[in-house]
Amino acid sequence: MQNPNKPRPEQEAETLLPRSEGALALAPTYQNPAATLTPPPQGDIGSSSDAPTMGDFSHRRPAPAAVLLLGSVVAGRYEILQGLGQGGMGTVYKAKDLELDRLVALKVVRPELAQDPAIIQRFKQELVLARQVTHRNVIRIYDLGEAEGIKFITMEFVEGQDLCSLLAERGTLPPAETVEVMQQVCLALEAAHAEGVIHRDLKPTNIMRDKSGRVVVMDFGLARLLEGEGITQTGAGALIGTMAYMSPEQALGSHLDQRSDLYAVGLIFYELLTGKEPYKAESALASLLKRTHERAAPVTALDRTIPASLSNVVSKCLERDPNQRYTSAKELLSDLDRWQRHAVAAPFVFPEVRTWARSHRRWMGVAAAAVILAVAGLLLDRTFRPAIGQQQVAAKPEVSLAILPFRNASGDTALDWLGPSLADMLSTDVGQSSHLRTVSPDRLHQVLHDLRIAADSSVDPAMLRRIGEFSNADTVVWGQYARFGDQIRVDATIQDLKHDRRAPLKAEAASEKDIPRAIDALGEAIRQNLSVSPEVIKALQASSFQASSKSVAALRDYNRGVQLLREGKNLESLKVLQLATKEDPNFALAFSRLAEVYSALGYDSEAERAAREAVDLDESLPAAEKYLITANQARVAKDYSKAIAEYEELAKVSPGNTEVQSSLGGLYENTGDFDNAQAHYAKVLQANPSDIGALLATGRVDIESGEPQKSLDPLNRGLSLAIQVDNQEQEALVRQALGIGYAQLNKLDEALKNYQQSLEIKQRLG
């Protein structure tokens, strides 16, 4: 148990939170004149986890319970062997049951509680509930007894440490050990919840681990049936529970169910991994208030070596809205089991990355000390988590189309926004089919950046070949536009690089308000000039859509905001997207993108609100746009299973969109489902063998799968391409992965060389 001379701060701060005015009085102190309590030695352990709770009658230390002499016998049956400590409900002793010849923990109930018949009756009810839960990970309650005016409870004695003292001793636990502990806690809660019992006061001092590694959950003294009242209150409107581990709904006096226990699991999980509380504040009350309106920083923000997939599990437990948490201990246990299986198969750790928002990544530098440790085999870095498997990939589409940003030939800077916007809107206006792969605007932006091609560059044959090579496109559309009075004229060219054919395309808009109609006309012209069958053209027409807004000003700001988002200029993007939503309050996709920017900037509450707004507005939208919006909302809320389901639907209506496949790969990574991540990353690479990110992912997964030799081929191909286009960010990441691969192969010189080169690049880039 915890050293009684060093109480935890949150325990010292625990107090009764009245919801109505009134004085709180202490019951008179009671002492058994015939006994004195020998204080327990430091580090003494047992089943006493009874730290003060909000159910205590004072914020001061509780009045002592009756104290018993060591060697004395209670009720003619229980020999007192050792004092284990004093808590909110009473004093706990290690005792021997002389009748059954076994050790027990004997808790003497505090006199002010023992003298209240109503409270004793409630304790009896709670003991009945606790005894309904029979599981190896739940402490066994034996009896509530009375002798010589002393009320006491007997229970199973556990020789071990509570998690509080374990944390005090070690600071943190490694992820694998933490998962093993939390798996057993989940098993205990699963058994309790199956009986309709919630704990309501789960905390590190109520969880013990014995010498064999068995974990037990204790003190169901505050538990109640899900549909019953239990001992919810001790007075007029007073809350019961330990403030530091209380869920937001418990703090607000709202309805509680099993998800409240899972929130406490998240708090404990967080503390075991990081050694810190997620809502650290000057007082337990301030901490409690913070968690009712703030989202906890992910554990990876405190320690990047913690696997991101595990961090996501913790974050889901800590969602303020119970509907966003795990629905049951069984569901949480399933994710922990899945993580554990993959952790055993993939012992190397890499840094988290959001594969669905490449322009928003925060690239983590490697410390010089980590380089040395990595070469020694102690790899502290975490680069990525996906896995590429041997599953078959879909057949290659007949046509791969890249639509370049259009050039402003009018000299009117007020129309600069239209260049990238034309390309973006045409990419969805052309339509989607398994026979057509349209290079996503995000991917094309990266290709143009790698090739050092400005958006307003004049196109020549050599440039087209380079773009085709790096985007894996065989058909390219480019062009320019100019204003003549109010009229806007667009002149474009579609070139089939495979068959060396080109065709001129034209469209006119009577004014800016007429631009969406002109884009429709240009999209139809592109469809008619693709090397596909009439049946495919019909399918493309049926799936065609544009960002749904009737406001040209909103479309302009939306597309400007998206462009800034791709360039990583999140703050600028935020301002422009906010304008777009004001110009058209019904622009669902603009709200969805706004949520993405808020999330990238760490404004979680605003991100959730914008995402919900987008979902509320998407009823009449095309299927592809609707799936994108709902998937983004689920992703912002960290509901990865829902996000995966929506992206899978989006993949059906946009089968050639590799950004969708990449997003799915990333989402499956975050849930630890590496087999499915394999299939989607493989599709990305098959669509474009020159995709540096996909080559890097392939190599990383080979390493995690225990095949470092196999990783060298894709990683070296990725390195060659990164050097060729002078993409230093990617080069640094590839070299880091190579360092890990070579270290696993015990080629330490090669590992050191790649780590050093990666580190030099990262330091240079800042």
User: What stretch of H or E contains 622?
Assistant: none
Residue length, the chain? 766
**The pair of three-digit structure tokens given for residue 185, joined into one six-digit string:** 């806690």
* Cβ(138)–Cβ(187) below 8 Å: no
Q: Which CA distances in Å does 279 have to 52, 65, 289, 634, 726?
A: 20, 33, 9, 24, 43
Question: DSSP assignment of 484-505, as one string?
Answer: ETTEEEEEEEEEETTTTEEEEE
The structure tokens 């990939």 sit at 393
460 labelled catalytic: no
Rounded to 10 degrees, the C-alpha dihedral 440/442/447/450 comes to: -170
Q: What single letter denotes the amino acid at residue 20? A: S
CA 395 to chain centre: 33
Return the number of other C-beta atoms located less than 10 Å from residue 609's C-beta.
16
Which pairing describes strands 224-225 and 207-210: parallel, antiparallel, or unpaired?
A: unpaired
Q: H helices within 351-401, ranges in order?
A: 368-375
**The pair of three-digit structure tokens given for residue 549, joined into one six-digit string:** 């807004």
* Cβ(728)–Cβ(720) below 8 Å: no
**Which residue in 50, 56, 162, 201 is the catalytic one?**
201
Question: DSSP assignment of 231-246, as one string?
Answer: T--SSTT---S-GGG-
Query: Please, what's the largest Cα pairwise distance for the chain?
Result: 105
CA 235 to chain centre: 39
**The pair of three-digit structure tokens given for residue 504, joined into one six-digit string:** 């001129």
User: What stretch of H or E contains 145?
Assistant: strand 141-147
- 3-state SS, 11-71, equals HHHCCCCCCCCCCCCCCCCCCCCCCCCCCCCCCCCCCCCCCCCCCCCCCCCCCCCCCCCCC
Q: H helices within 708-747, ranges in order?
A: 708-724, 728-744
* Cβ(386)–Cβ(674) below 8 Å: yes
Q: For 718, which DSSP code?
A: H
List residues with catalytic annotation. Answer: 201
